Structure 1
Amino acid sequence: MKIMKKWLVLLVLMFSVSSVIAGNMNSGVYIQQVDKPLSGVYDKVYKSLEDARFFVVFEPNIGANLASFSKKWGDDYNQNNIAEIRSMVFCNGWYANKVSNLDPNMLGFCPLHITLIEREGKTTVLFNRPGVIAQNSPAKELLLTIESEVIAAIQQGLK
């Protein structure tokens, strides 16, 4: 009986983990969280994107911009207690040219961006996955390649 319970627990855990992984891969947003403050990962993710030839062209500090409205918005301001919100806007010119050749309507992905948020000392990176949007586009395969390279760069930067 104990062995059956252990197997049942193992199966439930495996299903739970695979559901989380599948949910992330089927979602239009890639999400990765690390147990580090944003200040501890930002430069590493930036460098990793640039090493992968995705050049950061703009770095909006969204949290600072929102904070300037805190008095105006009152109780409606930052209800999720997000400590910091920053973004990196980036592009690879070669890929942008390839996308424009395959499907100019997909140039909405140039530039690309990621958003990093910090809450309770943990950083979450969010990336809108172009391959999900480009389901019927002639540029789908290329956008899936770009997506996987950006995700790999994020993962490398968060190590």
Structure 2
Amino acid sequence: MNSVGAFLSTAALLVFSVGTALASDASFYTETIPAPMASAQKEVVQALSHGHFKVVMNLDILKRIEAKQKVLHIPNLNQGGYADARAVVFCNPFLFSALLNNDWQAASVCPLNLTLLSKGGNTTVIFPRRAAYTHATKASLVGMKIDQMVISSLQTIPGSHP
């Protein structure tokens, strides 16, 4: 399997397995936006931008995986019936520098990412909290600051609620 196939396979498992983990795992911040994917994604990008983050990549995960479903041998893809699944990759160079300077291994939590899942006219935002990775390191305060900044940014989206 080439690197693109491996990425898509891993992304499929992440995107569609996250729903089970959300109910019991405080390592994820989730909120629902009462809007379809296109509108919600635009709001998320704008909120992150106002929160001092630079969006560097948007991936249409569901479309990419569906295109390779038979090649990747993924049975029963999207049993949850999501209309759309996307990933947003973003960063803040000052936060990356703080991670790197406090604990060089903690710098691996960057770039930051979140997943958007759309269903029934609503879009759910899932952000894996960075403090879950940095809690036992010298960069724990930076991880908490990242979480606070990202979550505060997301909470500015009109109609959003955790």
The secondary structure found in structure 2 opposite 1:116 is strand
Runs of 4+ aligned structure 1 residues displaced above 6 Å come to 23-26
1:17 match = none
Find the residue that maps to 2:156 and give its secondary structure. Answer: helix
CA-CA distance at 1:24 after TM superposition = 7.6
Partner secondary structure for residue 52 of structure 2: coil
Note closer, same or farther for the CA distance 1:66–1:157 as it changes in structure 2 (3 Å cut): same
Residue 131 of structure 1: CA displacement? 0.9
CA 24–147 in structure 1, closer or farther in 2 if over 3 Å, else same: farther
Give the TM-score normalised by the residue count of structure 1: 0.78
- Gapped regions of structure 1 (runs ≥ 5): 1-22
Residue 115 in 1 paired to residue 115 in 2? Answer: yes
Q: Which residue of 2 aligns with 1:39?
A: 38
Structure ID, larger Rg: 1
Give the secondary-structure state (helix, strand or coil) at the position aligned to 1:76.
coil
Cross-structure match for 1:83: 83
> What is residue 11 of structure 1 aligned with on the other side?
none
How far residue 156 of structure 1 moved from its aligned partner, in angstroms, is 1.1
Which amino acid letter does the alignment assign opposite residue 36 of structure 2?
P
Show the counterpart of 2:147. 147
TM (normalized to structure 2)? 0.77
Seen in structure 2, the aligned counterparts of structure 1 residues 158 and 114 have a Cα distance that, compared at 3 Å, is farther
Q: Which runs of 5+ in 2 are unaligned?
A: 1-21
SS in structure 2 at match of 1:65: helix
Aligned partners of 1:69, 1:80: CA distance in 2, in Å?
A: 18
Cα distance in 1, alignment partners of residues 62 and 52 from structure 2: 27
Alignment of 1:26-105 (within 5 A): 27-71=26-70, 73=73, 76-105=76-105
Partner Cα separation in structure 2 for residue 124 and residue 41 of structure 1 = 9
> What is the Cα deviation at residue 26 of structure 1?
6.2
Question: Match for residue 136 of structure 1?
Answer: 136
User: Deviation per CA, 1:24-61, whole angstroms, max 9, x where unpaired?
Assistant: 89611111112221122111110110111110111111
Greater percentage in helix: 1
